[in-house]
Amino acid sequence: MTERRDAEDLAIERALDAASAAETQGADAQAVEDYRDVLAHMPVPEVTPRAELEDRVIAAALQRRPAAVPSLAGRRTRRYRQFRVAALAAATVAAAIVVGVMVDNGNSGSPVPHGHVTLAALQHSDIDALLRSPGARRGGFVPAPARVVIAPDGNAAVYDIKGVDAVSVGLVSAGGTTLVGPARPDGGAIAFVVDHPERVTAVTIVRNGVEIARAGLKSA
Amino acid sequence: MSELSADRDWSQRLHAGDESALREAYRAHASAVLGLAVRVLGNATIAEDVMQDVFVRLWEKPDGFDPERGRLRSYLLAMTHSRAVERLRAEESQRRRLVDAGRQPATVADSDPVNAIAAHDAGIAVRRVLADLPEDQRTAIEMAYFGGLSYRDVAVALEEPEGTVRYRIRSGMQKMRAALQAEQVSRP
């Protein structure tokens, strides 16, 4: 296994942003482009931006550099805005219906929670602190012998994991399941942070894209 | 209009300061850009900021994109990844050291590289190769790319020598590159 980094290594490292440009001097420029093209095809689920973001982004761009073709853009934008007014009106009606249905189901139709792992070395005392957090919710996985705790501030951990294989943690909510990981358990635990912990109704353990265990959450 | 033709058209009009070109590029690629930013950052609010930075940059510096060197999608996603990783490292440097890779706003089904997004044949080819890679290669690539980790960080997380991680990533990336190039050559 050589530690020598040739131009190919440097190109890959640059494309992955795994090292700075200064650290990857000598990378073949075309190879970097090729690998960036490869990475552009990695499996990333698309996330539709909130509708109002388009105007926010365009306005921010135009602040930096005014449009030189305002008439064409203006006409299209006006048409688009007219379309949006009609679309938004229709969407409002549809949303009212959806909200009505969700209220019936006791579901607020909220953002899907996302999370990321922040584990260096989780100690038992860290888990104990999470378990003692007022409002913390916990659960036991079935069939795997592992447990999960999620504190109201979003700090969370899956612990008592048997095995050392890298796994992902699935955050189940009304909006679907989002994955955190893969991560290799450290001391049988994976710590993570969730941005909307109150939305998480259950947690899963996923290995190679397959759910292998699930835990419902209950108040401690 | 082919992807290349569309990219050339957008490039010319972005240079000319045509606002509608920016809107069209946004509508075509914003979902992919935001998806990647959320995947890397695990935070939708920060991801939206990154997405805005990317499109503002495209508008402000249209010279940065050359349709003869690569696709607009690839250019935007590379910029998105770079900026997301910058944000991630800036934040993580003030917190505990990051050891994992994952931030994935996907359904469980979507996490299957083959079953994820099937927008393009080339994408399918890359994802199929990714799915078929040995697990140690795939995990190392995903941790580096989606986790924004250096090779050393990946090595620490996997408890493997850095040289081993480098070899695994290189092997996997070369296979995906070959698959993409073969797909592009075979495309009519």
pLDDT, one tens digit per residue, over B80-127 is 999 999 998 887 665 544 444 544 433 333 333 333 333 456 677 788
- Tell me what the pLDDT averaged over chain B comes to: 82
- One-letter identity of residue B84: A
What integer best gives the mean pLDDT of chain A? Answer: 78
User: What H or E segment, with its residue span, contains residue B85?
Assistant: helix B72-92
Residues of B in contact with A2 (CB under 8 A): 163, 167
| CA B118/CA A9 separation, integer angstroms | 29
What does R_g of chain B's alpha carbons equal in angstroms?
17
In this prediction, residue B19 carries a pLDDT of 92
Q: Assess contact for B146 and B101: CB atoms under 8 A.
A: yes
| Facing B17 at nearest CB: one of A19, A65, A111 | A65
Give the C-alpha separation, B139 to A14, whole Å. 18
The Cβ-side half-sphere exposure at B27, using a 13 Å CA radius, reads 11
In terms of CA atoms, which chain B residue is nearest residue A69? B18
Q: How many residues does chain A have?
A: 220
What pLDDT score was predicted for residue B165? 95
Instruction: Determine which of A121-125, A157-161, B18-22 has the lowest per-residue pLDDT on average.
Output: A121-125
- Which is more confidently placed, B1 or B114? B1
The better pLDDT of the pair B22, B96 is held by B22
User: Mind listing the pLDDT tens digit for each residue in A8-66?
Assistant: 999 999 999 999 888 998 888 889 999 999 999 888 888 999 999 999 999 999 999 88
Is the separation of the CB atoms in A147 and A211 below 8 Å? no
Contact A220, A131 (CB under 8 A): yes
Residue B33: the pLDDT is 96
Distance CA A160, CA A106 (A): 33
For B148-187, the pLDDT digits (tens) are: 899 999 999 889 999 999 999 999 999 999 988 887 766 5
Q: Return the pLDDT at A132.
A: 87
Residues B106, B116 contacting (CB under 8 angstroms):
yes
Confidence bin at A82 (pLDDT 50/70/90): low
User: How far from A193 is each of A45, A153, B42, B72, CA to CA, in Å?
Assistant: 20, 9, 9, 33
Q: How close are the terminal C-alpha atoms of chain B, in Å?
A: 14
- Which B-chain residues 115-134 have CB contacts (< 8 A) with chain A? 116-117, 120, 122-123, 125-127, 130
Residue A104 makes CB contacts below 8 A (sequence gap 6+) with none
pTM of this structure: 0.64
Q: Which residues pair with A155 in a beta bridge?
A: A193
pLDDT at B29 over 90: yes
Residue A45 and residue B170: Cβ atoms within 8 Å?
no
Q: Contact, B22 vs B55, CB < 8 A?
A: yes
DSSP run (H or E) holding A215: strand A210-216
C-alpha distance from A3 to closest chain B C-alpha (Å): 5
Predicted local distance difference test score (pLDDT) of residue A87: 55
B66 in reach of chain A (CB within 8 A)? no
Of A45, A48, A208, the CB nearest to B117: A45
Residues B63-75, mean pLDDT to the nearest whole number: 91
Chain B residues within an 8 Å CB radius of A211: 108
Q: Indicate the residue of B18, B73, B100 with minimum beta-carbon distance to A181.
A: B100
Q: What is the mean pLDDT of residues A180-192?
A: 80
Looking at residue B183, what is its pLDDT? 77
In chain B, residues 20-49 whose CB comes closer than 8 Å to chain A = 20, 22-23, 26-27, 30-32, 34-36, 38-39, 41-44, 47-48
Contact residues, chain B, for A184 at CB < 8 Å: 100, 157-159
**Cβ B126 vs Cβ A42: under 8 Å:** yes
Higher per-residue confidence, A103 vs A56: A56
Q: How remote is the C-alpha of B44 from its chain's centroid?
A: 16
Decide if B117 and A43 are in contact by the 8 Å CB cutoff.
yes
> Which of A43-52, B39-48, B58-67, B89-98 is predicted with the least confidence, judged by mean pLDDT?
B89-98
CA B103 to chain centre: 13
Mark yes or no for CB contact B77/A36 under 8 Å.
Answer: yes
Q: For testing the chain B interface, which of A42, A69, A165 should be mutated: the one with the most B CBs within 10 Å?
A: A42
At B115 the pLDDT is 36
Mutate to test the interface with B, among A3, A28, A35, A38 (most CBs of B within 10 A): A38
Q: Which of B19, B34, B112 sits opposite A62 (nearest CB)?
A: B19
Closest chain B residue to the Cα of A212, Cα to Cα: B108
